[in-house]
Amino acid sequence: MAKVIGAVVVDNEECKGCGLCVVACPQDVLSQNKQVNGRGYHYSFMKNPEACIGCSNCATVCPDSCIVVYRVKIQEVRNEPVLVS
């Protein structure tokens, strides 16, 4: 059975810490960092990276377009994970 794994990359300096991506995530992957970026905002980061399914909801709601989303499908063939892009 195919399984989907995703990952997001947040541009820490562009993020304004509005928190809209945190509530848009269906898998509870993102969270706001306790650290602040150069402009004093609590930028988003992947708190729970294994759960990401690459649905791109976070990037869709991001008003500053600072999230990039990646996704891979993994097919289990003879118990060996094979990468299908």
The site for another protein (CB under 8 A) is made up of: 5-7, 9, 14, 16-20, 22-24, 41, 49, 54, 56-57, 59-72, 74, 81, 83, 85
Using the minimum distance from each CB to another protein, give the nearer residue, 39 or 78: 39
Which residues on neighbouring strands pair with residue 45, listed in sequence order? Answer: 31
The least distance separating another protein from the CB of residue 33, rounded to whole angstroms, comes to 14
Task: Report the C-alpha gap between 7 and 29 in whole angstroms.
Answer: 10
Task: Report the C-alpha gap between 72 and 43 in whole angstroms.
Answer: 25
The least distance separating another protein from the CB of residue 16, rounded to whole angstroms, comes to 4
Using the minimum distance from each CB to another protein, give the nearer residue, 17 or 78: 17
In our burial notation (b when 16+ CB lie closer than 10 A, e otherwise), range 57-72 reads bbbeebeeebbebeee
